[in-house]
Every structure is written in C-alpha cells, then in structure tokens.
Amino acid sequence: MSTLVYMICWMLLGHATVLAGDISFQVSTPQSVAEGERFRVTWTLDARPDDFSAPSFEDFRMISGPSTSSSTSTQIINNQVTTTVSYSFTFVLEALEQGTFTIPPATAVVDGQEYASDPGRVEVSDAPATPAQPHEPREPDTAQTRPGPDDIFIRTEISNTNPFRGEQVIVSYKLYTRLSVQRYNIERLPGFQGLWTENITPSGQPVISQEEVNGQIYRVAEIRRMAVFPQRSGDIVIDAMDVETQVSMPTEDRRRPGSIFDDFFGGSPFDRHRTISHHVRAEPVVLNVQPLPAEGQPDDFTGLVGQFELEASLDSRSMDVNDAATLQITLSGEGNIRMAELPEFSFPQQLDVFDPQVADDIHAARSGMHGSMIFDYVIIARATGTFDIPAIRVSYFDPERRAYRTASSGPFSLQVEGDPAVAGAYPDGIMEGRWMAKDIRFIHTGSVSWQQAGEVFYRSTRFFLLAAIPILLLVIFLVFWNKHRQETADIHGMRMKKARKVAVKRLKHAKRLLRENRKEAFFEEIFRALWGYVSDRLDIPVSRLNKENVASAFDSRQIPSGLATRFLDGLHECEYARFAPAGDESPMDTVYNKALDTIVAIEKELRKNTLVR
C-alpha cells in the first residue's frame, strides 16, 4: 500500500523533483556588437516556467520582446523515453554606447522555486562587430551564420562635398552585396539638418549592376538617391542611414569545410538556405558648405543657384483700357528652382498688376532637380497710352563658373487704347485722385510762436489791461464830449433853443406896433425878428450875417431854397419899408404874416432834419 502511495507520489511530484535538480537556465548573447546594432538576447529554460521576469536593460534600448517559444522533444533510447521541454524568451536590443556591458540575470519561477540565470556580457565596439565565427558552434537555437562586413555594405556617394550654399548635391546610397538580398527596408532615413532634400530615387526595383571592389565582384543596387540643397554654410552632417536587409544565407552545414563540392555548385536549387535579417548602416557624411561669394552679388539676388534660363512673353502687345493682358515669365533650369522667387518688378503706375500665379513643372531626374517655374502676371491697364514694361531680370549663382549671372528677357511695350472714362467694370479705374495709402501729414517746419507752458492769455493781467483800454478810452471820451456839449449848449445850444421864443416875442412886439401904427418901429422889429431868429437858430454870428452865408447855411441844413428866397424877400421888404418914402411900402399886416409863416416853415424844416436835443 505504501509502495502504491509512493508510486503515485512519485508520479505526481517526483518528476518535478527530479527536474528541479538539473534545470538549465541560460542566457545567450552575441559576444560583441557594433554601436547602434541590434541583437538578440535569449534566455532558454528547459522547464515550463510559471513566471519569467526579465532584467531591466539599462544600457540598451529594447526594440521588441519578449517573444516566447517552446519546443518539446521526445527521445527513445534503449526503450527509455526521455522528454525534454525547452522554453525561450527572446529580446531584441539595440546597443547604444561603446563598452562592455553586463546583462543582469533574469529570474524564472518553476514549480514555485525561483531560478536565476547567469549574467550575460556584451561588448559594444564602434566598428561593425566581427560576426561570430560561422564555424564555431554556438548555442543550439541561435546558432546561425552572419554575413561579414565584406559581404554586404552600403557606400555613400556624394557628387560634391564642397558645395556652395544652395547648390544641388546628389547623394546616392548604394548597397554592395555578395549575398542574395531578398528584401531591404530603410529603417531610418538620414537626418538633414540645414538641408533641403528632394528624393530622386527611381521608382520600382533598383537596377542591379556588377562592380568589382578589392578583387571581389559585388552586385550593386542604388537603394536611395537624393538631391540635397544646403541652406546654410559650414559643416552639415548627413546622418547615418540604417537599412534592414533580409539576406539569404547558406545553412551551417553548407559552410563546413570539406564541402567543396557543394560550394562549387553554389546556388543549386537543392541548396538549403536560411533567411536572416541583417542590419546594414551607411555612415554619416559631412558636407563642407561654402558661403556664396559676397563679391559681385546683385541686389536682386534671391538665392537661386544653378543654371537657369528666363523667358518672358506678353500675350498681347496692344489692348483696350481696362482689359487684361498676361505676362508669362518662365524660369527654367537646373538647381534649387523650387525655391525660385521673382524679384519685385516695377511696372508703370498706370498698370494694375496682380500678384503672380505660380505654377511649377519640376522633375526629379538622376542628375537632380530640373524643370521650370511659371509666373503669370495679370496686367490691367487703367489708362491709355504706350507703357514700357522694363526687362525682366533674374540673377542666379552659377556654381560651375563660380560667378553670378543674370538671365533677362524683354523689355516689352504695351499699347493701350480706348476711353479711360468708360471704366464700367472698374469703378476705381481712374488713376487720378486715387488713394494709394493713408499717412499722417508731415511735421510743422518753420517759425513757431512760443508761449510759457500753462500760460493762458484770457484772464491774464495783460488781457484785463487790454480789455480795459477801450473802456477807459470810452469813459474819457464821454467825459470830454459831455463837457464840450455843455459848453456849446450854453452859447449856441441855448441860443438855438431860445431863437423861437425871441422871434415870437419880437413878433408880438411888432404886432403891438402894428396896432399903434408905428410903421418904422414895426419894420425894424420884424427885421430883427427874422435876422435874429436865423442868426440864433442856424448859429451864424451877427458879424457874419449876410445873404450869402444865410443861403449856404440854409443849404447845408437841407432847407428848401424856396424858403431861403422867402426869408430873404421878407428881409428885403422890411429894409425897403424902413427907408422907402411913405405910402410906397407893403401893407404892414401882410409883412407880419409873411414873416411869421417864414419862421414857422423854417422851424418845421429844421425839426424835420435835426434830432431835437
């Protein structure tokens, strides 16, 4: 019974105990790799692990992994059945730096027990590693032949390592191989800091040619061809390019020494080949870029380097006003034509020129980029006349002649006819008075009248003084004027005022004399009344009383001349009566009435004409 139990126990557990004793947990790494190369690290365990943990690959970059595979093999030897299992964990790493590195142990748990592998050692060198000796047996699973550096490599060909800035340089990557490359894949394109690149790799399968290098015949395929244009001067590094190739390698046994027979018939369909992936690298290249010579550089140079031609054509030489013509400028040639831009052309002001439409027709050929850029300028004439479009010039640098050159075409003359006033379609078609731009007026130049900061004339002392002067003058004037008026009022004014009263008094007296019939006295009184009135009223001194003065005084006061005649007649009558013989005179009452009427009429006229004071 106990035996049975033991047997069962053995069957269930013994297997594990037995295996636990000699579990093999190994790591396999290449001995040496090149910097940047990718390699595999494989841990192999001949038991089924419950858990596997890989170390951290601090000195390497992990590309992929783990990929797990397992295999079981059963052997029957002398009726003894032996079953072996094998588990492998594979990582693909990339070597980052040179030096010797240790891959720390990995751990695996098998049946609850933890195992650790040995650490692995990898030497990373700068040169591509010499592959593991193909003849040396390696770890059973990874044992494979690797192609040598002479078997497959990439050469970088550069048309000119001393180009000018902007000059086209052809960079060609050629894959040289003595092996059968089934496929290749560019894993990493070179970096191009400071370069403008155009891919000019012919499409389709690369053309295979044969070349002899160091006495060996290689098959050569151009895997990449580029046109690069340096954008600055100085050293520009074209980075390394990494290519992953699938190389068909003869299997291990085919390479064994002694199998000369098979080698001789190499390539027979019965060959057993093994396809491995192999990493090839094109080393970095340095371009020493020269600056463009400053000497002789034209003002309108925009950076074109190469060989160019310029052709310009105007589609019509004569047109109607407000019609459109097209000036087509075609710049063709080889070089950095894609970067071509035309300088500003000065067109006559009467032509409205729109920004050009740009089209390109640029091809990538083996020799580099060539083609043409086409600039279409639409020109609309806004006035009539003959306008000259100056010659179109484009400057470029010719690296072969190491000199600046100018391509030119034209000039053209454009005949514009028609009536500019009929500008229906373009309301702003008339050039005159059209606003080109708004800008501020120019500064004030010339004389400036300065004033004290913050000073205001209004309410200043000066202002009050100036304002007071007219008022003061007015007051002074009024005072003087008043005084003068009073003085004149005393002498003349009073007399004038009294003139009527005096006259009335005298006339009354005369009337009394008339009643008393004192003839002489009466005429004298009338005479004095008339004379006195005019003397007082018209302000004529008695000494200057004569007929002429009276007439002119009447006239200056705009008294009708009829009145003056009447007045003078009255005077004359009185004089005549006084000295004439008796009985010859006019009747006294008539004279009296006449004198009264005259005075009243004069008084009326004077009042009409003069303001009464």
Partner 1 sequence: MRWLNLPVLWFLLMLCVVSSRAQSPDSLMEQANLAYMDESWNEAMDMYETILQMEVESAPLYYNMGNTAYQLGELGRAILYYERALRLNPSYEPALHNLELARNGIINPIESIPVLFYQRWHENFIALFSADMWAIALVIGLALCVISIALFLLKQIIWQKKLFLTLAASFLLITLIAAYAAQRQYHRLKHKQEVIVMEEVLTVRSAPAGRGTELFRVYEGTKAEIIHRMDSWKELRFADGNVGWVDAADVAQI
Binding site for partner 1 (CB under 8 A): 438-445, 447-454, 456-459, 463, 466-467, 469-471, 473-474, 477-478, 481, 609-611
Nearer to partner 1, 401 or 444 (CB): 444
* C-beta of residue 496 within 8 angstroms of C-beta of residue 537: yes
Smallest gap, in angstroms, from Cβ of residue 288 to partner 1?
42
Cβ nearer to partner 1, comparing 436 with 471: 471
Distance, CA of 231 to CA of 225 (rounded, Å) = 19
CA distance 98 to 59: 10
User: Is 76 or 471 the residue whose CB approaches partner 1 more closely?
Assistant: 471
Q: How far is CA 437 from the centre of its chain?
A: 17
At which residue do the structure tokens 């004014």 appear? 493
Closer CB to partner 1, residue 572 or residue 607? Answer: 607
The first and second tokens of residue 130, run together, are 């010499």
Which residues share a beta bridge with 89? Answer: 43, 68
Nearest to 139 by CA among 183, 90, 191, 188: 90
Query: DSSP assignment, residue 437?
Result: -
C-alpha 510/C-alpha 524 separation (Å) is 9
Q: How far is the CB of 450 from partner 1 (least distance, A)?
A: 4
Decide whether 261 or 457 has the Cβ nearer to partner 1. Answer: 457
Q: Which is nearer to partner 1, 286 or 479 (CB)?
A: 479
- Sequence-separated (6 or more) residues with CB below 8 Å from residue 596: 507
Q: How far apart are CA 168 and CA 307, in angstroms?
A: 11
Tell me the two tokens of residue 155: 């050469």
Residues 6+ apart with CB under 8 A from 192: 228, 238, 239
**DSSP conformation class of 338:** G
Residue (1 or 453) nearer to partner 1, CB: 453
What are the structure tokens assigned to 415, written together?
């005949």
For partner 1, give the closer residue by CB, 13 or 468.
468
DSSP 586: P
